[in-house]
Structure 1
Amino acid sequence: MPDLHSPIELLRPPRIEFGGGTLSVIRPWVEERGFRRILVVADAFNAGRVDLLGLPGAVTVFGEVKPEPDLPNLEKVLAVAEAMNPDLVIGFGGGSAMDLAKLVAVLPGSGQTLHEVVGPEKVAGRRAALIQVPTTAGTGSEGGTRALVTDPATQNKLAVQSRHMLADLAVVDPDLTMTVPPAVTAATGVDAMAHCTEAFTSRRAHPIIDVYALEGIRLVGRFLPRAVADGGDREARAGLALASMYGGFCLGPVNTTAGHAVAYPLGTRHHIPHGLACALIFPHTLAFNAPSVTDKTGLVMQALGLPASADPGAVLEGAHRFCEGLGVEMRLSRLGVPEDDLGAMATEAHAIRRLLDNNPRDLGRDGILAMYKAAF
């Protein structure tokens, strides 16, 4: 694993506003720069509350972002952007809205297609300014440079990473998450924790990122049960928003590992929300990796309020109990996944080398299939 001598690049939005009431900074920021053609990219719910952003002048709203955006969804919002030529794009919603906003800020008028920019640093440049405003505490996409879109033809996620997709302004107002229902709060919170845990235990783990990762896990362990029990708990909502942002900081320089690779087919093939998929898989990959990262696994368990252990059985039981205690459905069979598809899912997950190659312990197709069967 990397040590203090290992080179690493940290990219952050040049301005991050965090805390209750920070939405008020958006209007003066926009007015100072004279933006006139504003496109807000949002899901249907957040499209109905765009007025909260306090934007000046006429605003175009694309309010059709899907929970797991695919190519047709991207093409639809790109067509809107091509027609209006925005000088400012705002992602307003969860990770799906913010990921599409990143692509809308760089692709229209560039001459590049999505497939041409898949991978690291292939985007030619920025076409519009970008503000990111998260309304869930899960992906941390507001602080990162990566966007994911599902290709229906292959049922695989296409990952684009570019410094040109970094927000000019990220506004993290935890009060926006107060309306998130308990089940979504739980699933997205575990997603944030999974980002931190996978980066913390990755082969590419770095001491700089470890600080964000471990603190993010601690924040989830402390505040997620509270937010699930009482959605109006402002301190808990703020703690989760911070954990989510820290998880986003982990993604660019280190990224996720087996947990996300094994979770992806649940979303692409069976349309299980990403946070729920990550939560269901999390105990299985944490336990599998425990023998290779014993000290760090113990710290993860402690951060979640569980007894420190690197014993795979104890880790699996403890992490499973943590997720189940949040009300997360932990059985694939109860989420509509057919048992006869587990083999194809394992094959698909095993092909996601950009993540599995970072895993601290080699995980073969048979091992992935075993996890699916154990979770079924």
Structure 2
Amino acid sequence: MTVLLHPIALDVPARIAFGPGQVATVASLARERGITRSLVVTGRSNAARVGLLGLPGEVAVFGAVEPEPDIANLEAALAMAERVQPQLVVGFGGGSAMDLAKLVAVLPGSGKTLHDVVGPEKVAGRRVALVQVATTSGTGSEAGSRALITHPATRNKLAVQSRHMVADLAVVDPDLTLSVPAAVTAATGVDALAHCTEAFTSRKAHPLIDLYALEGIRLVGRYLPRAVADGSDREARAGLALASLYGGFCLGPVNTTAGHAVAYPLGTRHHVAHGLACAVVFPHTLAFNAPAVPDKTAMVMQALGLAAAGDVLEASHRWCAALGIEMRLSHLGVPEDDLPAMAAEAHAIRRLLDNNPREMSREQILAIYRAAL
């Protein structure tokens, strides 16, 4: 059956405000809805600029979002929500803050715990407004319906997906990303690239999403080197913000594949930032999958400006390294003796690996880790 006959559903925020200055739409929505009590879920660096949101009335701030948030971090945020009883929850930051905000918006008062809603469409509903404001260009979480929380005991990611966690308003204001350091810009930019590439080459790939995926890859190829070289380049920041948003569109109906499965243990076991983990892994999984999807791999390389660059692994690795990304796991604190356990953990992430275009064994994952060491 042609892929055009495969059913697909794309759940996106009710409103997306894109462009410089669009952070002001958060206050407008709050006033329109008569909201007087809000909870902002954010990290420590963004907690100091919550005032940019211009929220009316009482504003509580949960400013302790951790990278790769775990169950304890979520429970602390939920406890604050129970005390505050907000009418509006705002995720303000990168993917960690926005993922946590989704769960804070749906769990309090629902009678359900995190473990009750892990998986697809187990959330009962949402009684508060939800706004997502992205301050990095990478995860695309502002546009998505998924939230990921790390289980501290197993170090696995618990994935919740629900249309009830799609925001009422997603704000993509590239001016909020102007202060992001070059190293973070590079790593998060490759995370957006990975979202688009993995969705584009997935077994679940669909023309409805291919449109966003391929344009997202082109935008990263065009604008990420510029944004890394000059963080004040507003056009480049806007291009990356759009690429990140398109990557978020890819995550709902298609999602990622081997690249993210292989990257996850780097974060959960060794605290490598998610974007950086995805960047280190990206050339290896792109090259691994190339024999299964040669035409689409060629399109990815062309979109990155690497059409005539020869070897997929060497060319894409060089492209990432030229952004200043540290591409060696040994330099990121990953010990060689943990690679077998990491490979076993990654191989168990079937929700992603089962959609990879090429079967990937535990031994092949281990070989990727060793090549990246």
TM-score, normalised to structure 1, is 0.98
Identical-pair percentage: 75
Assess if the C-alpha contact under 8 Å between 1:110 and 1:127 holds in 2: no
Assess if the C-alpha contact under 8 Å between 2:19 and 2:174 holds in 1: yes
Partner of 1:221 in structure 2? 221
Aligned pairs for 1:200-279 (under 5 A) are 200-279=200-279
Partner of 1:370 in structure 2? 367
CA offset digits 1:126-173 (Å, max 9, x no partner): 031100000000000000100000000100000000000000001110
1:350 aligned to which of 335, 347, 355 = 347
Q: CA deviation at 1:215?
A: 0.2
Assess if the C-alpha contact under 8 Å between 1:140 and 1:248 holds in 2: yes
Partner of 2:120 in structure 1? 120
1:102 aligns with 2:102: yes
**RMSD after superposition:** 1.0
Partner of 1:198 in structure 2? 198
Assess if the C-alpha contact under 8 Å between 2:118 and 2:158 holds in 1: yes
AA in 2 matched with 1:127: R
Aligned pairs for 1:115-154 (under 5 A) are 115-154=115-154
Please give the alpha-carbon distance, in whole angstroms, between the structure 1 residues aligned to 2:25 and 2:256: 32
1:331 aligns with 2:331: no
Please give the alpha-carbon distance, in whole angstroms, between the structure 2 residues aligned to 1:184 and 1:121: 32
Please give the alpha-carbon distance, in whole angstroms, between the structure 1 residues aligned to 2:308 and 2:103: 41
Q: Would the alpha carbon gap of residues 209 and 11 (structure 1) be closer, same or farther in structure 2, given more than 3 Å must change? A: same
Please give the alpha-carbon distance, in whole angstroms, between the structure 2 residues aligned to 1:219 and 1:303: 8
Assess if the C-alpha contact under 8 Å between 1:108 and 1:127 holds in 2: no
Q: CA deviation at 1:308?
A: 5.1
Partner of 1:125, secondary structure, is coil
Q: Would the alpha carbon gap of residues 273 and 2 (structure 1) be closer, same or farther in structure 2, given more than 3 Å must change? A: farther
Partner of 1:55 in structure 2? 55
Please give the alpha-carbon distance, in whole angstroms, between the structure 1 residues aligned to 2:300 and 2:307: 10
Assess if the C-alpha contact under 8 Å between 2:218 and 2:303 holds in 1: yes
Assess if the C-alpha contact under 8 Å between 2:144 and 2:252 holds in 1: yes
Partner of 1:162 in structure 2? 162
AA in 1 matched with 2:183: A
84-93 vs 23-32, greater mean Cα deviation: 23-32
Q: CA deviation at 1:212?
A: 0.2
Please give the alpha-carbon distance, in whole angstroms, between the structure 1 residues aligned to 2:173 and 2:65: 21
Assess if the C-alpha contact under 8 Å between 2:35 and 2:57 holds in 1: no
Partner of 1:158, secondary structure, is strand
Partner of 2:253, secondary structure, is coil
1:340 aligns with 2:337: yes
Runs of 5+ consecutive residues of structure 2 not aligned to the other structure = none
Q: CA deviation at 1:108?
A: 0.7
Partner of 2:157, secondary structure, is strand
Q: Which runs of 4+ in 1 moved over 3 A?
A: none
Runs of 5+ consecutive residues of structure 1 not aligned to the other structure = none
